[in-house]
Amino acid sequence: MQCRLKILIVLLIFLICAFIFFLNVNDFYADNNGNKINLKIEPEYSNYLFAQRIWLKVTLTNNSDLDYFIKENFDAVGIHFDITTPNRTKLYNHVIVDSEIFDSIKLSPNQIYENVFPIDNYINSLNNVKGVYDIQAIFQNIISNTISIDIERPEGDDRTQYLLFQNFITARDFQKSSENDFKDIEEFLKQYPYSVYAPDLYDQLLIARLMSGKTNNVENTVINFFNSYADSYESKFIVNLYFSYLTKKGYSNAEAISKLKEIGNIYKNSKSDYTINNFIKKLKE
């Protein structure tokens, strides 16, 4: 009888310990409500037009006393998004790929890890649906806050720009692009310098020049972008393309990084400065 009682007591203690451990694990991997590992998403803007690139800034903060390890890609592949459309249907970008990175990244207590990337590929397929979209992110079982963005149909002059933009990015072979193709885009950028589609078109223009091998005006394209859109997350793509161009031209990584830092110093505290510093940081990881 005493032996059976001891067994029951041991079993009870085991169950209590297991329950406490389960609570602690769940508490440690809590979302922002638990305030241990916090995942936050912020849109670049709150209002968009159809086909406009939608950038998100995603921040992971370790508010715990333990190290946290990022084991999957912290980008549009590794982070899952639940998107609710204006008609309240659900979109998911849960890409079925192995997104595990080669070496996990350690996030020490009180340390943050950030990235910016576009997610419009998951939304702009619904170009005929205007209204408010609700977006939530999930990363390694951590759930983010929910954000809302309003996407509207372009009207008037915006519609003219939208149709021209759509023409530029469809039915185009970048490798066969001619100077006339480049001039079309450059004319658009001159005529509509404040178009919501302009930052994306600078990216397309730079890609076209690099892929076609017609790189004479790459430097001017980069300078013009930063002069007009230094405070745009599109700078992330421009920075990547420009770094690749410089290294292929013969610059060492250190020399190319130095060129990027010069741009960052000119546009201090801008989104370009942020994307440049983030790019350099990730190069060293």
Range from 74-88, 165-179, 219-233 carrying the lowest mean pLDDT? 165-179
Residues 6+ apart with CB under 8 A from 273: 230, 264, 265, 267
pLDDT tens digit sequence for 92-134? 765 444 444 556 889 999 999 999 988 876 666 555 689 999 9
Structure tokens at 28: 């440690």
Q: Which residues of 43-60 are buried (b: 16+ CB within 10 A; e: fewer)?
A: bbeeebbbbbbbbbbbeb
Task: Give the per-residue pLDDT at 188.
Answer: 92
Would the pTM of this model clear 0.85, i.e. be above it?
Answer: no
